[in-house]
A = this chain, B = another copy of it.
Amino acid sequence: MLTRIDHIGIACRNLDETVEFYRATYGFEVFHTEVNEEQGVREAMLKINETDDGGASYLQLLEPIREDSTVAKWLEKNGEGVHHIAFGTADVDGESEAIRGKGVRVLYDEPRRGSMGSRITFLHPKDCHGVLTELVTSAPADAAGH
């Protein structure tokens, strides 16, 4: 079961400037930053609200750190904007297998590491009416509301 909007992933060219835009315009503060070498991005998570499944909803601001990262290629084609959306679930393995069984292409054979120690996978946007869709299971501490 998918129980929350976990985050909206937004691709930007300059993470520091974009973080500052969200702080100055809306008052959103950085909850967490990290570099994900595998995804080729530097990212900031802005926590917007908590959710009734014990998790939270974030904006995830993403700046590519390599020209050959998928986010860099996406930016080159589309410019800055919403890159993907992510639904939270307690069971990313089970959900992704069930969804694969319905004929939707799941991009990873096994979930990989996402933000804040989460486990994630992606669904092919062409199978999801144009929306690159991520499934996320938070790390235990985060799932408990920390």
Binding site for B on A (CB under 8 A): 1-5, 8, 10, 12, 18, 21, 24-28, 48-53, 57, 59, 79-82, 85, 87, 99, 102, 104, 125, 128-131
Contacts and interface: CB of A to CB of B under 8 A. Distances in A.
A52 B50 CA distance: 5
Helix, strand, loop or mixed for chain A's interface? mixed
Nearest to A57: B5
A39 to B, nearest CB: 19
Contacts of A99: 25-26
Given A49-B53, A53-B49, A82-B85, A1 B24 contact: no
Q: In the assembly, how many copies of this chain are there?
A: 2
A52 B129 CA distance: 30
Contacts of A49: 3-5, 51-53, 57
B48 A87 contact: yes
A82 B80 contact: no
B57 A4 contact: yes
A50 B51 contact: yes
A15 to B, nearest CB: 11
Contacts of A48: 2-5, 87
A131 B59 CA distance: 12
19 contacts: A2-B28, A3-B49, A8-B85, A10-B130, A10-B131, A18-B129, A24-B102, A25-B99, A48-B87, A49-B57, A50-B52, A51-B52, A51-B57, A80-B129, A80-B131, A81-B82, A81-B129, A81-B131, A82-B131
